[in-house]
Amino acid sequence: MEIVVSGIRPTGRLHLGNYFGAVANFVRLQEQYRCYFFIADYHSLTTHPHPADLHGTVRQVLAEYLACGVDPKRCVLYRQSDVPETAELYLFLNMLAYVGELERSASFKEKVRSQPDNVNAGLLTYPVLMTADIIIHRAHKVPVGKDQTQHLEMARNFAERFNRLYGEDFFPLPQALGTGGTLVKVPGLDGSGKMGKSEGEGNAVFLSDTEEEIRRKVMRAVTDSGPTTPNQPMSEPVQNLFALMKLVSPPETVSHYEEAYRACTIRYGDMKKQLAADMAAFTAPIRERIAYYLNNDSLLRDILEQGQEQARASASATVAEVRRLIGFRKF
Ligand code: TRP
């Protein structure tokens, strides 16, 4: 069976856009591939998180992925720092990565611009660590967004370079795994763009938001002054409200408001109230499961222990072979 690897950045809480996007994709992939999903906590050290924050965000993201249906019985779900073999492979790969090519990476250049006072070597070698993450399980496929295309290309280069240097096709060259356009686009509440695209408070509805928080955000969503002629084309903010409604409300509710829009009798306030209620109902069971995991540290510990065991079995087999190929051999 083909092997899939993907990393989860432990930043912030999941919003509905993530739920219908990357997370739904993981849930699908775990049925079709041998998946290794890990929380990328080594990577997150490039921004020097406070130890308590690091622990807290890892815990939150773990609880949320579990609550969304990423199932440790169907995939290997682990924490990157629980598999130190990754760090060893990273060391080996660093000897093959050229400073020049790392400096040319778009994400590195972006970091140099955005955080000039913390251009650490970990940022420079971020793509090398990401390569280690992927090839440590000799993965074939990596489900990542467009923003990671260049990183994945670098991973292929490093894997290929290793193979060439040591004269064996040991690592498969990892390919991007697209979603074939199956992912629904989830707009934000601020009138334009995808949920989570802008940082604005109130743009995103988080899975862990309370009913009251959801209501407050939805009621403040951008709309327009309302249709005045029948079949008037919809503005983007209103299209977005309908798109969100299609995700969480029954079809009858959607057609009711579509009808009202066409008849120019729609009251956005009513529509938003309905949308907020349906969103809150949609997220309620997820919210409950998040709370369940967050209140059950011993369960989280068991899950990570099991993930660690499975991930290390795969990782240590790879690293043993890598050591042998490099020439670290027994006398
Ligand atoms: N770089 C990825 C991101 O920013 C996270 C990540 C780290 C990753 N290691 C990975 C993704 C390995 C896929 C495979 O989202």
Question: For position 12, what pLDDT does the model report?
Answer: 83
What is the pLDDT at residue 199?
A: 75
The answer to whether residue 111 is catalytic is: yes
Contact yes or no for 194/188 (Cβ under 8 A):
yes
Would you place residue 98 in the very low, low, confident or very high pLDDT band (cuts 50, 70, 90)? very high
CATH topology assigned to domain 3-184+297-326: Rossmann fold (3.40.50)
194 in active site? yes
Q: Is the pTM of this model over 0.85?
A: yes
pLDDT reported for residue 73: 98
Question: How many percent of the chain have pLDDT more than 90?
Answer: 91
Question: What CATH superfamily classification does 197-291 receive?
Answer: Tyrosyl-Transfer RNA Synthetase (1.10.240.10)
**Model confidence pLDDT, tens digit, residues 53-72:** 999 999 999 999 999 999 99
| pLDDT given at position 40 | 98
- Decide if pLDDT at 77 tops 90: yes
For residue 72, report the phi and psi dihedrals to the nearest 5 degrees.
-60, -10
What's the pLDDT at 161?
Answer: 98
pLDDT at 185: 87
For residue 22 the two structure tokens come to 């990357």
164-193 average pLDDT score:
91
Yes or no: say if 102 and 108 are a contact pair by the CB < 8 Å rule: yes
Marked catalytic residue, from 111, 141, 217, 272:
111
How far is ligand 1, taken at its centre, from the CA of residue 5, in Å?
9
Closest CA to 77 of 328, 300, 238: 300
- pLDDT score for 191: 87
- Going from the C-alpha of 276 to that of each of 193, 208, 285, the distances in angstroms are 19, 14, 15
* Contact 61 CB / ligand 1 (< 6 Å): no
252-265 average pLDDT score? 96
What mean pLDDT do residues 191-205 have? 86
Q: What is the pLDDT of residues 1-53, one digit of tens each?
A: 999 999 999 988 999 999 999 999 999 999 999 999 999 999 999 999 999 99
Query: Is 221 within 8 Å of 189 (Cβ atoms)?
Result: yes
Question: Based on the number of CB atoms within 10 Å of its own CB, is 71 exposed (0-12), middle (13-18) or buried (19 or more)?
Answer: middle
Tell me the per-residue pLDDT of 277-306, one tens digit each, with 9 for 90 and over.
999 999 999 999 999 999 999 999 999 999
Say which DSSP state 104 is in. Answer: T
**Structural tokens at position 293:** 């995991």
The reported pLDDT for the residue numbered 182 is 75
Alpha carbon distance 177, 29 (integer Å): 10
Q: Whose CA is nearest to atom 15 of ligand 1?
A: 9
Distance 74 CA to ligand 1 centre (A): 20
Query: What pLDDT band is residue 175 in, cutting at 50, 70 and 90?
Result: very high
Minimal-distance CA residue to ligand 1 atom 5: 7
Residue 327 has pLDDT above 90, yes or no: yes
* Cα-trace Rg, the chain: 23
d(CA 3, CA 209): 34
Mutation choice for ligand 1 from 3, 9, 38, CB with most ligand atoms inside 8 A = 9
Residues of the chain with CATH 3.40.50.620: 3-184+297-326
- Distance, CA of 326 to CA of 331 (rounded, Å): 15
Residues 6+ apart with CB under 8 A from 116: none
Query: Which is nearest to 205 in space by CA: 109, 277, 129, 105?
Result: 277
At 197 the pLDDT is 84
Mind listing the pLDDT tens digit for each residue in 103-157?
Answer: 999 999 999 999 999 999 999 999 999 999 999 999 999 998 888 999 999 999 9
What's the pLDDT tens digit per position in 215-235? 999 999 999 999 999 878 999
Distance CA 314, CA 316 (A): 6
Mutational test site, ligand 1, from 151, 158, 175, max ligand atoms within 8 Å of CB: 151
